[in-house]
Amino acid sequence: MKKIVTLNVNGLDYETALEPRRTLAEALRYDLGLTGTKIGCKIGDCGACTVLIDGVPSSSCLVLAIEAEGHEIMTIEGVADGNKLHPLQEAFVEVGAIQCGFCTPGMVLTALALLKDNSDPTDAQIRRALSGNLCRCTGYQKIVEAVREAAKRMLRTC
Ligand code: FES
């Protein structure tokens, strides 16, 4: 039996009827139409479904949508400021840290949480933070460079 749930996503409240077994990743994609969140392994290993829940990177495939009620959820759709990309998004594009792009939303959200806690991370800290986000295409070097570049740009604008 479906249950009415209100999910706060990117600052907006979405009321929707869900099966209690619906994961947050499924609800975001199939009920709310926010398809930037990708579904990969479905067991919390790949990081493709990463969203921020109250600012913390979380595998949305492991969270039931009903559990997310009352929390602030951020998806990749909430990262840019209107048409203006976030410095992390700009850096991913400019550095060439994207190939197929499947991992990119999760990478960007994990990196966003990292830079909020640590505005000038070392490469080792970036690699550690992103260790739960798998990329099958890029070899990671460009992703680390993009996060480092974004950190530099964000420090300049502070
Ligand atoms: Fe393809 Fe990372 S760019 S999985």
Assess contact for 100 and 108: CB atoms under 8 A. no
Domains and CATH numbers, the chain: 3-78 (3.10.20.30), 87-157 (1.10.150.120)
When pLDDT is cut at 50, 70 and 90, the band that residue 144 belongs to is very high
* Eight-class DSSP state of 139: -
Q: Give 19 Cα–ligand 1 centroid separation in angstroms.
A: 31
User: Averaged over 31-37, what is the pLDDT?
Assistant: 98
Q: What is the pTM of this model?
A: 0.97
Q: How far apart are CA 126 and CA 104, in angstroms?
A: 15
For residue range 56-112, what is the model confidence (pLDDT) as tens digits?
999 999 999 999 999 999 999 999 999 999 999 999 999 999 999 999 999 999 999
pLDDT surpasses 80 at 158: no
Which among 61, 39, 36, 57 has a CA at the least distance from the CA of 48? 39
- Pocket lining: 103 vs ligand 1, CB cutoff 6 Å: yes
- Pocket lining: 91 vs ligand 1, CB cutoff 6 Å: no
Number of H helices, E strands in the chain: 5, 5
Average pLDDT, the chain: 97
- Pocket lining: 46 vs ligand 1, CB cutoff 6 Å: no
* Eight-class DSSP state of 69: T
